[in-house]
Amino acid sequence: MNNIIELKNVYKHYITNKKNTILKKINYKFKKGLIYSLVGPSGSGKSTLLNLLSLIDKPSSGEILINDSIIKFSDFSVNDMIRADKIGIIYQQNNLLPDFTALENVYLARLTVEKNSDKAFIDAKKIIKSFGLSHRHNHFPSELSGGELQRIAISRALINKPEIILADEPTGSLDHSTAKNVFKTLYNLKNKNRLIIYATHNRFFANMADCKLEMIDGNIKTINARTRKSEI
């Protein structure tokens, strides 16, 4: 089975003064080995969808399956472990802990799965080195550039070798040159067993994906990507 995530009749709505439906009867299968981009105007449901896929939020109705297993959103501890072990999340604002160094941010993420603290420390140093930031181990987030922050955030997202990588506007606050470098890093993470989904407002980067998806009226429409990845 090539499907790694499947959504069945997924709805998501919020109740304020009235019922506001963000996602409507989504049926979609995300396949491993592919990179998907997610586009659409602000408020179209991109971040809502990513929050459901990352198990941070739960659907109002419908089912989400990961590797053919139905996610039980009432089982918080199990979902926390699934997220720690199988899902890497990259945020626009990086969400690094400001009072911890770059190395400590990655190390703490590793400890959620690897209980041997010495090995977790070695693993954290190794992955940061792979992104060319060994010289930044002991620097705090406030001392890093935008590109360095995102590379540390990507290191943290990858430290547990996730099958699924979700990125919500990962380059939204970066200049174009730095953003290109971040996307090069993202595309280099592709392999036959990994699923990568990212939301972006940038058409150039959206078109680089194997499959471009657009959020329209609370649902997903598939659009063929038009740009070759080699053009990054």
Give the residue from 178, 176, 215, 180 showing the smallest Cα distance to 197: 215
Other CB atoms within 10 Å distance of the CB of residue 161: 12
* Sign of the dihedral through C-alpha 129, 151, 65, 72: positive
Instruction: Name the packing angle between helices 102-111 and 146-158 (round to 10°).
Output: 20
Sequence letter at residue 109: A
**pLDDT in tens for each of the 232 residues of the chain?**
577 999 999 999 988 777 788 999 999 999 999 999 999 988 889 999 999 999 999 999 999 999 999 999 888 888 888 988 899 998 877 889 999 999 999 999 999 999 999 999 999 999 999 888 999 999 999 999 988 998 899 899 989 999 999 999 888 777 888 788 878 888 888 888 899 999 998 888 898 899 999 999 899 998 875 544 445 5
The pLDDT value given to residue 192: 86
- Reduced to 3 DSSP states, what percent helix, strand and coil does the chain have, rounded to the nearest 5? 35, 30, 35
Q: Are strands 211-216 and 195-199 parallel, antiparallel or unpaired?
A: unpaired
Residues 6+ apart with CB under 8 A from 75: none
Rounded to whole angstroms, how far apart are CA atoms 2 and 221? Answer: 20
Rounded to whole angstroms, how far apart are CA atoms 71 and 82? Answer: 10
Residues 6+ apart with CB under 8 A from 161: none
Sequence letter at residue 92: Q
Rounded to whole angstroms, how far apart are CA atoms 90 and 198? Answer: 9
Residues 6+ apart with CB under 8 A from 73: 55, 58, 59, 79
Distances (CA, A) of 144 to 51, 127, 132, 140, 185: 27, 17, 13, 7, 18
Annotation: CATH topology of 3-231: Rossmann fold (3.40.50)
State whether residue 51 is helix, strand or coil.
helix
